[in-house]
Amino acid sequence: MRIRFLISALLLCSCIRNPATGKLELDLVSHDQEVQMGQQAKLDTEQTLGVYKEKPALNDYVAALGKDLAAVSTEPQDPFSYEIVEDSAVNAFALPGGPIFVTRGILGYLNTEAELAAVMGHETGHVCAHHSANQMSKAELAQVGLGLGAAISPTLGSLAQAAGAGLQLLFLKYSRDDETQADELGFRFMTKAGYDPKQMLPLFTMLDGVTKQAGGGKTPAWLETHPNPGNRFEATQNRLKNEFKGSTEGMKVKRDEYLKAIDGIVFGEDPRQGYFKGDTFLDPSLKFQWTLPKGWAHQNSPQAVAAQSPKQDAILQLQAAGKMSPEEAAQKLFSQQGIVQGQPVDVHGAKIARSFQAKTQQGSIEGVAAFIPYQGSTYMLIGYTAAGGLAGYGDTFLSSMSSFGELKDASALNAQPARVKIVHLDAPMSVADFNAKYPSTIKADLLALINGVEAGGQIAAGHAKQIVGGVQK
Ligand SMILES: [Zn+2]
């Protein structure tokens, strides 16, 4: 829906001088539109990913730090907001016009308030330089392929959760030049707010470490959207020498304050919101399990569990239809324009299960929808593929859907997340000694990384992070 809005916005394109960069540039959307889209995407993000709510004081802490950065930025009048999004990935992102999110995941990897200021300063820089707006316009122009899930969204409407504008924005990628500029602005903003800009260096070391530990072939979330400009370490050192000059003595680092603020936060995926054990999805709070086809890529979001075939030509997804009866939920789906219901099919436990065809702007699709009543709610399972593909995928859809059932395993039902525990150290300690004395449920390499030291390094006296609890997968 918003894509069309954007394309009409192109007609209004104008050149404006960007106060962050001092350059004239072609902004494809007006500032008002930028702010408006950003606010809509912020709501989408809050609803689709959710805000981390367990520690209200930590939300206040992040918001207060953000307020200080926004005040010294080049766009202090913009409606900035700084929130913690419930996502275990190490990431942060900015939406057009001011909304900024740091993930719950990145907070467990940082060690000082100044490092957090560097992350948030960088994102504030993207907003001030209007990178997302430029990027979004380019992306819309290029009609970025968003996969089958998004392609059919105009027809399935709210049923295809992957198509939210907020999520599309998350997957946009900045250019390397944008990254360099956001680093530069972040450096300036954090310095103006009184934070030691040298603390950008351990942040970049940590992000590099996340990349290395993720291993070949797997791109960490941060890099997906913020590609490494390559020389950011040297560039920061040059800025320290040529731009900052002088000493950083007495500037804010705030290690202890930061660690105290994150004590007890969830580390890694939160199994209480559902988790995968192999190909089976287990949901302890809703007490169900569902087995997906072998080898499919899967994803759990607050709205849906979805999986995509290895060839990326078929999707299976599950959503709660709430208190609606199976009949009402089926009626709601099949009464949508462009959808034609077909023959009844056999899905274990389903009150209604039928094949369907649908016309979308990108072409015709066909699939199976099943409505299963379970513990007072209705669950809707949909499998779909391009027209002509159902003969090949039908059995796979039906056998996966038929696996939906009660979660009985007691340990799965009581699954608890791993948490960060802040431990006081009287003297420096090697990572190995620390792990022996205060055992963590993560690998030693990762433990070193989140404590900001090399694998064989020493953790300084003061405070250190231990990771306790969590589920074995
Ligand atoms: Zn960036």
User: How far, in Å, is the centroid of ligand 1 from the Cα of 182?
Assistant: 6
* pLDDT of 48 over the 80 cut: no
- Rounded to the nearest whole angstrom, what is the distance from the C-alpha of residue 121 to the centroid of ligand 1? 10
- For 338, phi then psi, to 5°, come to 95, -10
For the entire predicted model, the pTM comes to 0.79
CA distance 305 to 205: 34
Pairing relationship of beta strands 305-308 and 339-344 according to DSSP bridges:
unpaired
Please list all protein residues whose beta carbon sits less than 5 angstroms from ligand 1, which is an ion. 179, 182, 226
Q: Are strands 429-430 and 418-425 parallel, antiparallel or unpaired?
A: unpaired
CA distance 376 to 468: 35
The gap between the terminal CA atoms of the chain, to the nearest Å, is: 40
User: 432 CA to middle of ligand 1, Å?
Assistant: 34
Tell me: pLDDT of 314 over 60.
yes
Average pLDDT, the chain: 83
Does the pLDDT at position 147 exceed 60? no
CA 81 to chain centre: 17
Mean pLDDT of 104-133: 93
Q: What is the pLDDT of residues 426-473, one digit of tens each?
A: 999 999 999 999 999 999 999 999 999 998 899 999 999 999 999 876
- Arithmetic mean of pLDDT, 284-295: 95
pLDDT in tens, 178-210: 999 999 999 999 999 999 999 999 999 999 898
Q: β-pairing, 99-103 with 81-85?
A: parallel
User: Are the beta carbons of 136 and 37 closer than 8 angstroms?
Assistant: yes
In this structure, the number of other CB atoms found within 10 A of the CB of residue 311 comes to 8
Q: What distance in angstroms lies between residue 459's CA and the mean position of ligand 1's atoms? A: 29
What confidence score (pLDDT) does residue 392 get?
96
Gap from CA of 217 to ligand 1 centroid (Å): 21
Region 271-412: CATH code:
3.40.1000.10
Whole-angstrom distance, CA of residue 61 vs CA of residue 98: 18
Of the pLDDT bands very low, low, confident and very high (cuts 50, 70, 90), residue 16 is: very low
* pLDDT computed for residue 166 by the predictor: 35
> What's the mean pLDDT in 45-68?
92
Three-state secondary-structure class, residue 338: coil
Q: What gap in Å lies between CA 442 and CA 450, rounded to an integer?
A: 10
Q: What's the average model confidence in pLDDT over 28-46?
A: 81
Q: Tell me how far the alpha carbon of residue 7 lies from the centroid of ligand 1, in angstroms.
A: 25
* Amino acid at the residue 275: Y
